A = this chain, B = another copy of it.
C-alpha cells in the first residue's frame, strides 16, 4: 500500500523536489558562467540606463539563495544582506557562488516534501508558500541574468547559451 501511494504521488506531480533542485542548480551553473564571461572591471562598473551593475545583481542573488533556503529549513528568519566585501574581485564573488552551491546541496534536500505548500514569510516579510518563494528566487535569477546578457552584448561579448544548463 505504501508503494502504491508513492507511485500515485510521483505520477501526479508536475515536478519532484529533486527535479526542482536540479532545475535551479542548472540555472545557477548558467549564471556562474555569465559572471565568468564579464571582464573583471565591467562586472563591477558597467551598467545601462541607470540600472545596477551585474555585480550588484549577483550580490542580491547570493543574499537570497542560501539564506532563503536555510530559513525554509530551520524556520529561523534570516537577514537580507546584499553587500559583501568583494574587493572588486570576481574571484571573491565566484568563491561565494560556490560556497552557496555547497550550502544549497546541504540544505535543499532537508526541505520536507509535505512543506512545499506551507505558508511562509521569506526574510520575515515576503509572503508566499515554500514553493512560490523558491520559484521567486529562481525567476528573479533568470530575470537578472537576462539583463546581464544585454550588458555583455553591449560590451560586444557573446554570453553563454541560454539553453545550456550544465558545464
Contact = CB atoms under 8 A, between A and B. Distances in A.
Determine the main DSSP class of A at the interface with B: helix
B150 A48 contact: yes
B14 A12 contact: no
Given A140-B162, A142-B139, A150 B51 contact: yes
A165 to B, nearest CB: 10
A5 interface: yes
Contact of A116 (B14, B139, B146, B153): B14
A10 B139 CA distance: 23
Contacts of A149: 143, 147
A8 B11 contact: no
A117 interface: yes
Interface residues of A, number: 47
Contact of A13 (B14, B49, B51, B143): B14
B9 A150 contact: no
Contact of A147 (B9, B16, B147): B147
Given A11-B113, A23-B132, A48-B154, 20 more contacts: A4-B5, A8-B9, A10-B12, A12-B13, A12-B113, A13-B14, A14-B15, A14-B16, A14-B131, A15-B116, A23-B135, A48-B150, A48-B153, A51-B153, A139-B142, A142-B146, A145-B146, A147-B149, A147-B150, A150-B150
Interface of A: 4-6, 8-17, 19-20, 23, 27, 48-51, 113-114, 116-117, 131-132, 135-136, 139-140, 142-147, 149-156, 162-163
